Amino acid sequence: MFFQELASPFDSATQMQILQDRLSRLVNNIHESRNTEFPPINVWASEKSIVVVAEVPGIDAEDIDLQVCNQTVTLKTKRHLAEQEEGQTFHRRERGHGQFTRSIELPYAIDAETVNASFSNGMLRIEFTRAAADLPKKITVQAS
């Protein structure tokens, strides 16, 4: 026979397992890369207020720039790269560094004059009050 039959990559259960493991890692890496926005935040709202909590460990309060424009809140901050001592080499570097910006759209208009922001133990808590003009109004219907 002139041509040798090529071995299929699926000849053995071991090869199938290797392929399955590689595909699983690929899918997991894609999923993980979607959740890498910094800083991670939680947002919850009631009829009268909104609370945003952002995790910003290793950042000084002075390095936080918080701005509100219409219904968008923007958080800008930076985290410095850890300095390496002479003779040391990094074996793993997973913590992000540099300039970070995160903007989120709030579910309704807020009163920018009453925003309260506090920072403690690497957690930034921002409380927004819903704008009075945006609050639902009860309309009384008159019978004629």
Between the alpha carbon of residue 74 and those of residues 8, 63, 103, the distances in Å are 54, 14, 4
Enter the pTM of the model: 0.66
Residues 82-95 have a mean pLDDT of: 80
CATH pick for 39-81+96-134 out of 2.60.40.790, 2.60.40.1840, 2.70.70.10, 3.30.2130.10: 2.60.40.790
Give the Cα separation of 72 and 56 in Å (integer). 19
- Top pLDDT among 25 and 44 is at 44
pLDDT 10s digits, 25-40: 877 766 554 556 788 9
Give CA–CA dist 46/86, Å, rounded.
52
